């Protein structure tokens, strides 16, 4: 779950637990209080009625049976008088089949008073038993508890509803608090994403809260340090590449002069010259690639899209770099005119063709297909050893080379430039297996006109 959801649930569950605990305690206290009050009032009234019965039994002309029927019992309550060697006297004929609890009967028979809960006719009652020792009689009176039960049920419902409402309010408060507290973190994440995508000048605004403002200032200081370091490194690479350009040019010119007169040199010197020529050309290409990468890193190269005939453009590039015999196929779904940066497209195709020649035995086909609604895909196939699955992402990094090409000549920057130019077009570059063996290097480009 997201952090915001977890914190909200924590707020809700904690508040619900506290509310339920408080509700249980409140209900227990209220229940004990109401039952104590009910017991006290029941005992008071029962003893009062028991004295009235005793006084009636003392009178010479007393009619206890008539008195029992006239006793003022509470609500649906009832009274029972048990005399020795006589049938019990009931205050109402409807309760003659009510069985009093055995414990209560035993307590009263032992010359002790008692009180106990019972159920009669499906209703709860509180029964009070009183021993009338003067006449060896037992007086019982039952008091209805339905009002007390309803009151307790209402209290329990109110407490449960209150706990639920409190939990919901706490959840809402937790959600609102999370949004407010996590908003700076969201801005940090967005700013970090902008920096990761190349916006090195992205900074966070100041915060009103001192703690959050400290976070914003720390992030901005970190971004300043990262930007300064990257710009320094990019400037260093650009300066080094630029400074190397002049001596490399002079060295290449001198080597070309020697190579033009190689027939005048001994055989061993010619072999050494071949090594020098190869390495100088490789060094010159590496410096050119580094200069191009440094311009890309510095953001000094812009994307200039223009409408081109894709088949003619691919053919001209292939012919220019010595691959005029490579089959070129353009899918019928691709419209003749596309919008691309011609220079970047040429660099991509030239690097792919050259990479195929150096490491894949030469390209076998160049294919242009439509990709999505407004994109195209450029594919260069070869019949070489292919690329190991674990190296397919790494070979597009700078100075990274696959295991099959470690002993071959190359700068390790060609595919990195391909990936950079593809990204500038809003596309990507990857490699996959070619049916029948070999590799397929695929690069996607931007919109179709």
**φ, ψ dihedrals at 376, nearest 5°:** -130, 160
Domain of 35, CATH number, reads 3.30.450.20
Question: In the chain, what percentage of residues exceed pLDDT 90?
Answer: 7
Strand 89-90 to strand 78-82: parallel, antiparallel, or no bridges (unpaired)?
antiparallel
Give the integer Cα–Cα distance in Å for 253 and 267.
22
Question: Is there a single domain that holds both residue 313 and residue 427?
Answer: yes
**44 vs 245 pLDDT, higher one:** 44
Question: Is there a single domain that holds both residue 280 and residue 313?
Answer: no
Query: Please, which residues have CB within 8 angstroms of residue 432's CB and are 6 or more apart in sequence?
Result: 392, 439, 440, 442
Domain of 414, CATH number, reads 3.30.565.10
- Which tokens hold the place of 340? 């691309």
Question: Is there a single domain that holds both residue 290 and residue 354?
Answer: no
**pTM attached to this predicted model:** 0.48
Query: Could you say which of 265, 298, 331 is where a domain stops?
Result: 298
Note whether residue 157 is domain-resident.
no
Instruction: Give a three-class secondary structure readout of the chain.
Output: CCHHHHHHHHHHHHHHHHHHHHHHHHHHHHHHHHHHHHHHHHHHHHHHHHHHHHHHHHCCCCCHHHHHHHCCCCCCCEEEEECCCCCCEECCHHHCCCCCCHHHHHHHHCCCCEEEEEEECCEEEEEEEEEEHHHCEEEEEEEECHHHHHHHHHHHHHHHHHHHHHHHHHHHHHHHHHHHHHHHHHHHHHHHHHHHCCCCCCCCCCCCCHHHHHHHHHHHHHHHHHHHHHHHHHHHHHHHHHHHHHHHHHHHHHHHHHHHCHHHCCHHHHHHHHHHHHHHHHHHHHHHHHHHHHHHHHCCCCCCCEEEEHHHHHHHHHHHCCCCCCCEEECCCCCCEEEECHHHHHHHHHHHHHHHHHHCCCEEEEEEEEECCCEEEEEEEECCCCCCHHHCCHHHCCCCCCHHHCCCCCCCCHHHHHHHHHHHCCCCEEEEECCCCCEEEEEECCCEC
Note whether residue 278 is domain-resident.
yes
Question: Is there a single domain that holds both residue 264 and residue 393?
Answer: no
- Which tokens hold the place of 422? 């593809």
Note whether residue 32 is domain-resident.
yes
Question: Is there a single domain that holds both residue 11 and residue 131?
Answer: yes
Give the integer Cα–Cα distance in Å for 161 and 167.
10
- Is the distance from CB of 54 to CB of 134 less than 8 angstroms? yes
Residue 405 pLDDT exceeds 60: no
Mean pLDDT to the nearest integer, 334-338: 75
Residue 407 pLDDT exceeds 70: no
Note whether residue 178 is domain-resident.
no
Average pLDDT for the chain: 82
Query: Could you say which of 298, 331, 362 is where a domain stops?
Result: 298
Q: Residue 441's closest CA among 377, 389, 397? A: 377
Domain of 218, CATH number, reads 1.10.287.130
Note whether residue 167 is domain-resident.
no
Question: Is there a single domain that holds both residue 265 and residue 320?
Answer: no
Question: Could you read off the pLDDT of 134-188 as tens digits, one per residue?
Answer: 888 898 988 988 888 889 999 999 988 888 888 888 888 878 877 777 777 778 8
Question: Is there a single domain that holds both residue 247 and residue 286?
Answer: yes
Number of folded domains that form the chain: 3
Question: Is there a single domain that holds both residue 336 and residue 263?
Answer: no
Q: CA angle at residue 291 from 289 to 295, to 5 degrees?
A: 115
Question: Could you read off the pLDDT of 200-254 as tens digits, one per residue?
Answer: 778 888 877 787 788 888 888 888 888 788 777 767 766 666 676 678 778 778 8
Question: Is there a single domain that holds both residue 225 and residue 313?
Answer: no
Note whether residue 365 is domain-resident.
yes
* pLDDT at 448 (0 to 100): 47
Note whether residue 170 is domain-resident.
no
Residue 445 pLDDT exceeds 80: yes
Question: Is there a single domain that holds both residue 59 and residue 116?
Answer: yes
Note whether residue 112 is domain-resident.
yes
* pLDDT at 293 (0 to 100): 67
- Is the distance from CB of 364 to CB of 403 less than 8 angstroms? no
Mean pLDDT to the nearest integer, 394-405: 71
Query: Could you say which of 135, 152, 169 is where a domain stops?
Result: 152
- Domain of 293, in residue numbers: 210-298
């Amino acid at each position: 779950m997201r952090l915001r959801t977890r914190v909200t649930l924590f707020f809700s569950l904690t508040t619900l637990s506290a509310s339920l605990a408080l509700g249980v305690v409140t209900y227990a206290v209220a229940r004990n209080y109401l039952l104590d009050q009910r017991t006290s009032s029941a005992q008071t009234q029962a003893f009062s009625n028991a004295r009235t019965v005793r006084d009636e039994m003392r009178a010479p002309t007393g009619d206890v049976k008539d008195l029992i029927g006239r006793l003022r019992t509470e609500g649906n309550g009832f009274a029972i008088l048990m005399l020795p060697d006589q049938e019990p006297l009931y205050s109402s004929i409807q309760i003659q089949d009510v069985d009093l609890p055995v414990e209560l009967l035993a307590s009263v028979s032992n010359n002790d008073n008692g009180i106990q809960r019972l159920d009669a006719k499906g209703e709860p009652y509180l029964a009070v038993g009183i021993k009338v020792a003067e006449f060896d009689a037992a007086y019982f009176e039952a008091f209805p508890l339905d009002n007390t039960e309803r009151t307790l049920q209402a209290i329990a419902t109110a407490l449960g509803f209150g706990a639920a409402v409190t939990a919901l309010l706490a959840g809402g408060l937790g959600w609102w608090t999370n949004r407010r507290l996590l908003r700076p973190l969201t801005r940090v994440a967005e700013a970090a994403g902008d920096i990761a995508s190349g916006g090195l000048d992205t900074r966070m605004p100041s915060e009103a809260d001192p703690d959050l403002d400290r976070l914003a200032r720390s992030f901005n200081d970190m971004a300043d340090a990262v930007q300064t370091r990257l710009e320094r490194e990019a400037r260093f690479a650009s300066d080094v590449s630029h400074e190397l350009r002049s001596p490399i040019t002079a060295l290449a010119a001198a080597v070309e002069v020697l190579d033009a007169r190689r027939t005048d040199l001994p055989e061993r010197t010619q072999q050494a010259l071949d090594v020098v020529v190869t390495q100088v050309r490789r060094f010159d290409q590496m410096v050119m690639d580094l200069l191009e990468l440094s311009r890309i890193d510095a953001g000094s190269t812009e994307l200039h899209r223009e409408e081109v005939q894709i088949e003619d453009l691919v053919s001209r590039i292939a012919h220019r770099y010595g691959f005029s015999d490579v089959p070129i196929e353009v899918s019928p779904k691709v419209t003749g005119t596309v919008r691309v940066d011609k220079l970047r497209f040429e660099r991509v195709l030239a690097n792919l063709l050259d990479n195929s020649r150096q490491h894949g035995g030469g390209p076998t086909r160049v294919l242009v297909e439509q990709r999505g609604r407004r994109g195209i895909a450029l594919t260069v196939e070869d019949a070489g050893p292919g690329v190991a699955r674990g190296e397919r992402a790494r070979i597009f990094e700078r100075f990274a080379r696959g295991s099959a090409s470690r002993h071959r000549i190359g700068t390790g920057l060609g595919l990195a430039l391909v990936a950079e130019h593809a990204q500038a077009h809003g596309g990507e570059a990857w490699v996959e297996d070619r049916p029948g063996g070999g590799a397929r290097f695929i690069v996607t480009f931007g919109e179709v006109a």
